[in-house]
Structure 1
Amino acid sequence: MPKLKQGLIVAALVIALDQISKYIILQVFMWGDLLKVTGFFDLVRAHNTGAAFSLFANQPGWQQGFFITVASIASIVIIYLLRRDTGSVLSKLSLSLILGGALGNLIDRLNHGYVVDFLSFHINSYYWPAFNIADSAITLGAIFLIWDSFKKP
């Protein structure tokens, strides 16, 4: 199977898992609702108009167009890189995870004007910013790319 097709299948799986999970959260939770699952993990419904860690979320609105543009350009570049059929299997997987995550969050921005976040981890009263499956895929993809960069060609 060509690398591009494999990469797009991985990206599509990420998008599907991301969008299904967000759909469930939107149906079950009201904005701001919280369900304690364990002593360190909660399910929440948060709306993020910014980037990671809600960076730029309090801006007057310019960030939406900016993040839509960045995600669109990044997706085009990643598809180009996947088509080139060079690089290791790990780098292709990394790019596919990043593509799926970028498109998952892009879909939210286009449909809602914000990204739906719902995974909330904490230690006592210290809370990590809420995130979602798309964010997780982007993070894993970046970690795998860094890991792959340390391997000899």
Structure 2
Amino acid sequence: MIRLLLLLSIPLYILDQWSKLWIVKHFELHVTEQEVIPGIFWLHHTANTGVAFGMFNGTEYANYAFGAISLTALTFIIWMYKKGAFPGTLSRTAVALLISGIFGNLTDRLLHGYVVDFLRFDFGFRPFNPWPSFNVADSCVVVAALCLAIASFTETTPTKKPKA
């Protein structure tokens, strides 16, 4: 696990934090926007105190609640890892991605009081038009969820042999 943390989690965490700090420095919150791919992709700076798709954004104690949920999730993931719940490479990679994503957004909540979202896409289909803004940490969490779903069908947990 240490190897995955060094090779995957830490670089992705650094990329996430660097990109967010760059956005905070160069884009005024909820004002400045830069079109990167015409009609499809924009950079902008938005605040999210909620969770995925902006749910619960702006509610009074959302930032504290989701910060606590992040710490609880990290504790649970580490406990499950120690129990051997992630036996294969794909599930261990997912754990490394989750750790990076959770720490990235938790750091935002502590530093800024909200999660910095800055990637906005519009693929022209409903119900998400435009697609909700997100960041590198969010991408890590989504890819981790996909990896865990695939791993649940492809990896088997080793069984302990009964003592004779």
**TM-score using structure 1 length:** 0.90
The 5 A counterparts of 1:1-150 are 4-9=1-6, 10-32=8-30, 33-39=32-38, 40-59=40-59, 61-84=60-83, 86-124=86-124, 126-150=129-153
Whether contact under 8 Å (1:7, 1:82) holds in the other structure is: no
State the shift of 1:152 in Å: 5.0
Residue 47 of structure 2 aligns to a residue in which SS? strand
C-alpha distance 108-152 of structure 1, shift in aligned 2 (>3 A): closer
Name the Cα RMSD after superposition.
1.6
Residue 37 of structure 1 aligns to a residue in which SS? strand
Question: Which runs of 5 or more structure 1 residues have no equivalent in the other structure?
Answer: none
State the shift of 1:84 in Å: 4.5
CA distance in 1: counterparts of 2:96 and 2:71, whole angstroms: 14
Identity of aligned residues (%): 34
Structure with the bigger RCO (C-alpha within 8 Å, sep 6+) is 1
The number of equivalent residue pairs is: 149
Deviations 1:40-65 (A, max 9, x none): 11111111111111100132x22111
Please identify which structure carries the higher helix content.
1
